[in-house]
Amino acid sequence: MAEAAAEQTVQEYINHHLSFLTFGKVDGHWGFAHTPEEAMEMGFWAVNVDTLGWSIFLGAAFLLFFRSVGKRATVDAPSGIQNFVEAVFEFVDARVSEGFNYKNDLIGPLCLTLFFWILLMNTMDLVPVDLITKGFEIFAAVVFGFEHAPFKIVPTTDPNITMGMSVFVFLLIIYYSIKNKGIGGFLSELAFHPFGKWMMPFNLIIEVPTLFAKPISLGLRLFGNLYAGELLFLLIASMLGYWQLPAHFVWAVFHILVIPLQAFVFMMLTIVYLNAAHDKPHH
């Protein structure tokens, strides 16, 4: 890692590692962006191939792992892996039971998926910053002639990933709010609460931003915490030379607390928001 940093200035090193492997259309042609400027020109429909690919890979690994353990599960002599999976199930089930007061068979599997998927994506932040990225740079240079190709491996440091998950949860909030309260009940909550129908303008000023703040807070909180953690790892790798390994270890130990905590917070807020979406309108 120190050698990679020595070949570049600290700013160039950090900017490179904070860039995405972006695929899109620029100057009438489809391809990978070779500079941040090209990535910006690709616009909204550009795809960050690296973070999207890693998120799909980790999600598939999670599903296959749990499916494999479930198929081999036994009551007589459970393995250590089975005990681990059961502990995760019980932990998530307990949180759903405590925070969700209605019956909905979707909430448990949704929260389990969100918690473990985000946990896996966050854990990628513990991989040394140059370990996989440098290998991909060499591969891209040899195979595609793409010099210094960026390759991020932590999906939750990409706001497209975190906001994508939060928008999905937000759509579920809207769906269950309308399903359980009716369109009239849902709109009346926005217009008539908390001060009554005669204060509708003030109610809307409070309730509409509060509603849209839910997906923004979900996505940006997760992104901000993981982005800050990754940035500190990059600063350690680029500036501390031979001291980077002890410093990396110290920050990684602290970061181990952040990784599951952010997955837990995202899951718990999802439970709280969906529980509120199932509440019947108050009269």
pLDDT tens-digit map of 205-236:
888 888 899 999 999 999 999 999 888 888 88
Alpha-carbon gap, residue 248 to 235, rounded angstroms: 10
Average pLDDT over residues 121-130: 88
Average pLDDT over residues 246-263: 85
Alpha-carbon gap, residue 45 to 43, rounded angstroms: 6
Per the CB < 8 A criterion, the answer to whether 202 and 195 are in contact is yes
Paired tokens of 183: 């369109």
Three-class DSSP category at 42: coil
Burial letters 163-185, b for 16+ CB under 10 A, else e: bebbeebbebbeebbeebbeeeb
pLDDT, the chain, mean: 87
Name the pLDDT band for 15 (thresholds 50, 70, 90). confident
Alpha-carbon gap, residue 52 to 57, rounded angstroms: 9
Name the pLDDT band for 190 (thresholds 50, 70, 90). confident
Alpha-carbon gap, residue 101 to 22, rounded angstroms: 43
Three-class DSSP category at 231: helix
Average pLDDT over residues 48-66: 95
Paired tokens of 154: 């932590």
Model confidence at 172: pLDDT above 70 = yes
Alpha-carbon gap, residue 208 to 190, rounded angstroms: 6
For position 35, what pLDDT does the model report?
A: 85
The reply to whether 177 belongs to the active site is no
For position 243, what pLDDT does the model report?
A: 64
Alpha-carbon gap, residue 125 to 158, rounded angstroms: 12
The reply to whether 217 belongs to the active site is yes
For position 1, what pLDDT does the model report?
A: 46
Paired tokens of 204: 């809307």
For position 77, what pLDDT does the model report?
A: 79
Model confidence at 204: pLDDT above 50 = yes
Average pLDDT over residues 83-96: 93
Model confidence at 5: pLDDT above 60 = no
Model confidence at 121: pLDDT above 60 = yes
Where do the structural domains in the chain lie, given as residue ranges? 2-278
Query: Among 11-15, 78-82, 170-174, 278-282, whose mean pLDDT is lowest?
Result: 278-282
Paired tokens of 283: 């009269």
Query: Among 8-12, 97-101, 130-134, 144-148, whose mean pLDDT is lowest?
Result: 8-12
Q: How far are the Cα atoms of 99, 212, 265 from residue 209, in angstroms, in the given order? A: 24, 5, 21
Catalytic-labelled residue, pool 104, 160, 180, 221: 221
The reply to whether 180 belongs to the active site is no
Closest CA to 1 of 266, 167, 240: 240
Alpha-carbon gap, residue 234 to 8, rounded angstroms: 13
For position 282, what pLDDT does the model report?
A: 56
Q: How far are the Cα atoms of 26, 28, 47, 157, 213 from residue 42, in angstroms, in the given order? A: 5, 10, 9, 20, 28
Closest CA to 227 of 97, 51, 6: 51
Alpha-carbon gap, residue 105 to 93, rounded angstroms: 11
Per the CB < 8 A criterion, the answer to whether 237 and 2 are in contact is yes
Between 231 and 266, residue with greater pLDDT: 266
Which residue type, as a one-letter code, is found at position 28?
G
Name the pLDDT band for 281 (thresholds 50, 70, 90). low
Alpha-carbon gap, residue 172 to 138, rounded angstroms: 43
For position 240, what pLDDT does the model report?
A: 62
Catalytic-labelled residue, pool 67, 225, 238, 275: 225
Per the CB < 8 A criterion, the answer to whether 22 and 30 are in contact is no
